[in-house]
Structure 1
Amino acid sequence: MSEIGSALLVFALLLISTSLGVWVRPLLPEEHKAHETVQLIQLVIGMLVTFAALVLGLMTASAKASFDTESNGLRGFAADLIEFDTTLREYGSSTDEARRLLGQYTAAAIASTWPREPAPPGDYPRNIGSQDNSQQLESVRLGDMLTAVGTQLRQLQTHDPLQQRTLDDALKQYRRTVDARWKIIEEAHSSISMPFLMTLTFWLCVIFLSFGLIAPRNALAWVTISLGAVSIASAIYVIVDLDTPFSGPIVVSSSPMRDALAHLTR
């Protein structure tokens, strides 16, 4: 489910729970509306609010940590690309084709991973397909383009020990680049447990149902409850959006990859 869909669903469920509480209240016997009963309800609400606030805080921290990890991983990947290209440049003109393929791969990766941003200029495959969410970050065509770089390196013939050492370094950096790519792909998958999120939503619905049972029937009370529902729904929106680092309004910056591309094509 999308970020907006998740937030709207939670908001609707909270308002429905509150309305249910307001509807049930007049049907309750008078002894259920006694002061002691209201105090008990308030104690239970306080307990659930504490649990829900703790869980929301932990989920926000977890989603933010996952987002930061992906962002740092992308920076490391961009640095690996630059270091790899530098080593190829040191080898000599024999690696020009490998460097060209590496530049095409980087440009195509930027265009497919951030389809809403301006595509880099140049000649590279542009029909790889936009990614709608982090689960689809992996692309077979992009992987094949990076594999072609390694194939080019393994076909090189060295002429002296210096070139051999440089080629060995380049192959090690190529493997490190491939490993970094797969690490980014795997870490981009959602880390939110849906049963856990459903349990939290149930707690919140119980809280707002209790609000409906004890809240006075006036406009200010309804506005306050509605604002609370909006605040919680926005928190869910931020959590789900942070958990999908390559989709939604909050996305990992493409600047490191664009900086790497500028270095590769200079």
Structure 2
Amino acid sequence: MTEVESGLVVFIVLLLSTGFGVLVRPLLPEEHKAHETVQLIQLVIGMLVTFAALVLGLMTASAKSSFDTVANDFRAYAADLIQLDVKLRDYGPDTSDARALLRAYTAEAIATTWPHEPPPPGDYYQKNVPHNPEQLESPRLGHLLDQAESGIRQLNPPDAFHQSLVGDILAQFTVVSKARWKLIEEAHSSISDPFFKTLTFWLSVIFLSFGLIAPRNALALVTITLGALSIASAIYGIVDLDTPFTGPIVIPSQPMRDALAHLGG
């Protein structure tokens, strides 16, 4: 599910749970409404609320940490691309084709990973390439890097200096390839569906209890609705942070744009 769908599902489930509790309450026998029973329900609710708050806090911290890790990895990846281009430039004119492919790769990666942002200027890369933002891997982009690396392997170094540079360039291609696949794997959500469903069940039990013991007046219903909205917005934020390339909160593209500016030099 998307970020909006996750938050909306939780909000609806919590309201339905509360409504069910409100409807069931008049049907309960009087002994179920005794003071001791209400106290027991309040005690269980307090325990569940504490537990849910702890889980939501840990999920928020984990999602934020994961988001920051991906952002840092993207900055490091942009630096790896710049270092690769510097080594290609040091070799000389024979690597101009590889540098052009590297620029095309970087520009197209920006255009496809951040499709809602202005694409990089220039006509040296293929624009409007279909791409699923939830799937960072693109066979076409991988092929561009493979072409650039293949071109380097076909070079005939004229001396020991250029031969050493070829070795450094190929090693840097390996670094870039590993960093790329690391980012591809980090783009996937780490929140499992069974855990999300279990958390939603815990929250629905809490709001069902609210419906059973809450007074039947407008202020109580508005308060419960605002509570459900707050929980749903927290879930929305957690899922959004856990999917760093979709939703309103995304990894900034500036490091890759800075790398493209260096590659164009």
Where on the TM-score scale, by shorter chain, does this alignment land: which range? Answer: over 0.9
Q: Is the 8 A contact 1:188 1:244 kept in 2?
A: yes
SS at match of 2:72: helix
Counterpart contact for 2:112–2:133, Cα < 8 Å: no
Aligned ranges 1:164-203 → 2 under 5 Å: 164-203=163-202
Q: d(CA) in 1 for partners of 2:243 and 2:35?
A: 46
Cα distance in 2 for partners of 1:130, 1:182 equals 17
Q: Using the TM superposition, give the Cα deviation of residue 190 of structure 1 relative to its aligned residue in structure 2, in angstroms.
A: 1.0
Equivalent in the alignment of 1:116: 116
Find the counterpart in structure 2 of residue 246 from structure 1.
245
Q: Please give the residue correspondences for 1:1-266 in structure 2 after superposition, counting only pairs within 5 Å.
A: 1-122=1-122, 123-133=124-134, 136-266=135-265
Number of aligned residues: 264
- Structure 2 residue runs of 5 or longer lacking an equivalent are none
- After TM superposition, give the deviation of residue 62 of structure 1 in Å: 1.4
Conserved 8 A contact 1:70-1:184: yes
1:7-59: per-residue Cα shift (whole Å, max 9, x none)? 01100110010011110111111111010000000000001001111111111
Relative to structure 2, which stretch is displaced further, 61-70 or 111-120? 61-70
Amino acid in the other structure paired with 1:207: I
Give, in whole Å, the separation in 2 of the partners of 1:178 and 1:206: 47
Q: CA shift at 1:65, angstroms?
A: 1.4
How high is the sequence identity, in percent, across the aligned residues? Answer: 67
Q: Tell whether the 8 Å contact from 1:128 to 1:141 is kept in structure 2 after alignment.
A: no
Q: Which runs of 5+ in 1 are unaligned?
A: none
Deviation at 1:63, TM superposition (A): 1.1
Q: Which runs of 4+ in 1 moved over 6 A?
A: none
* Letter matched to residue 34 of structure 1: A
Q: State the 1:157 CA deviation.
A: 0.9
1:126 Cα deviation after fit: 1.3
Distance 1:21 1:175 in 2: 59
TM-score where L is the length of structure 1? 0.98
Shift of 1:130: 3.1
| Post-superposition offset of 1:127 | 3.6
Q: Cα deviation per residue 1:146-200 (whole Å; 9 max; x = unaligned)?
A: 1001011001111111111111111100111011101100111110011111111
CA deviation after TM superposition for structure 1 residue 132, in Å: 3.2
One-letter identity of the residue aligned with 1:21: G
Is contact 1:101–1:145 with CA below 8 Å preserved after alignment? yes
Contact 1:81 1:260 in 2 (8 A): yes
Q: Distance in 2 between matches of 1:95 and 1:131?
A: 32
CA contact 1:82–1:263 (8 Å) conserved in 2: yes
* CA deviation after TM superposition for structure 1 residue 237, in Å: 0.2
Shift of 1:129: 1.5
Q: Does the CA-based 8 Å contact 2:131-2:138 persist in structure 1? A: no
Using the size of structure 2 for normalisation, the TM-score is 0.98
> Is this contact kept in 1: 2:74–2:183, CA < 8 A?
yes
Aligned-CA RMSD value: 0.8
1:60 CA drift (Å): 1.1
How far residue 72 of structure 1 moved from its aligned partner, in angstroms, is: 1.1
